[in-house]
Structure 1
Amino acid sequence: MERTAQHPAAGRATALTVLAWVLQVLCFAAFAMFGSGKLLGWPDHVQVFEEIGMGQWLRYAVGAAEVAGALLLLVPRLAGLAALGLAVIVVGAVLTHLFILVDSGWTTPAVLTVLLLAVAWIRKRETLSLIGR
């Protein structure tokens, strides 16, 4: 039986696809949990949004966006776009913790931003196809 050699680019593509799925599932879990916590009114989320001073409506809006984004991360064609949208939200969280709350709560959203940008980069072909490029 003859063995066929796999093209190196195919192996790289497979590795990136596996990495994308791992990152997407990790981010899904994080945003499903954080978003649900905001929507369900977990006390720490209520307190943080009270300290921000923009009202609890923002907690609901962010929570809904996080849950929706988490679900879209599980759709390969939409994962890159979802990752970009969630990255915007968590960059806002980083800036809020640094400049409004002035606490160390910026670290988790900063790590999530890096993970989300990695997903967006890996899934860029799917994202570009959505906008016709």
Structure 2
Amino acid sequence: MTSTALSTATAPVVSRRADRALWGIQILLALFYGVASAVPKLVAHSSATVTFDAIGWGDWLMYLTGVLELAGAIGLLVPRLAALAALGLVGVMLGAEVFTWAFLDGVNWATPLIAAAFLGAVAYGRRHTLTVPHRR
């Protein structure tokens, strides 16, 4: 029999102020990824298609990125999923960084790294929600 419970003795204590700050960051990131980033990709807005046309891999990558960003945005707002969603979006941002240098000549290279830093802070701050199955 396995359990996914995390012992309260091993769970880090997050101050009320830190918790509020994390929620503020999570909400802002969710709005950014859900509205400003995912929607243009999912509706094939010209601002997104120009970038993905420069990559030259077809529209599937644009739609996949939009779906991943939307899923991550939703996950950031679900307490038990926030850390995993943040980690997933860090992966998307690292991929964006690679594509920025490989296909877009480094234009706006800092944006994915800054976003990844904020997402990393959320993942670290919410790490207590990550549970590891163990036997009892």
* Higher RCO, 1 vs 2 (CA within 8 Å, ≥6 residues apart): 2
Q: CA deviation at 1:16?
A: 1.7
TM-score (norm 2): 0.83
Q: CA deviation at 1:26?
A: 1.1
Corresponding residue for residue 96 of structure 1: 99
In structure 1, distance between residues paired with 2:58 and 2:109:
20
Corresponding residue for residue 123 of structure 2: 120
In structure 1, distance between residues paired with 2:80 and 2:22:
12
Q: CA deviation at 1:132?
A: 2.7
The amino acid that maps onto 2:133 is G
Which of residues 77, 83, 91 is equivalent to 1:74? 77
Corresponding residue for residue 105 of structure 1: 108
Corresponding residue for residue 20 of structure 1: 22
Q: CA deviation at 1:82?
A: 0.1
In structure 1, distance between residues paired with 2:107 and 2:54:
14
**SS of the residue aligned with 1:76?**
coil
**SS of the residue aligned with 1:90?**
helix
Corresponding residue for residue 132 of structure 1: 133
Q: CA deviation at 1:35?
A: 0.5
The structure with the greater share of residues assigned to helix is: 1
**SS of the residue aligned with 2:15?**
helix
For the Cα contact (< 8 Å) 1:95–1:106, is it kept in 2?
Answer: no
TM-score (norm 1): 0.85
**SS of the residue aligned with 1:54?**
coil
In structure 1, distance between residues paired with 2:117 and 2:95:
14
Which of residues 74, 85, 89 is equivalent to 2:88? 85
**CA deviation vs aligned residue, 1:58-88 (integer Å, no higher than 9, x gap):** 1001101101110110011110000000110
Q: How many residues align?
A: 122
- Aligned Cα root-mean-square deviation (Å): 1.6
Unaligned 5+ residue runs, structure 2? 1-11
In structure 2, distance between residues paired with 1:103 and 1:42:
22
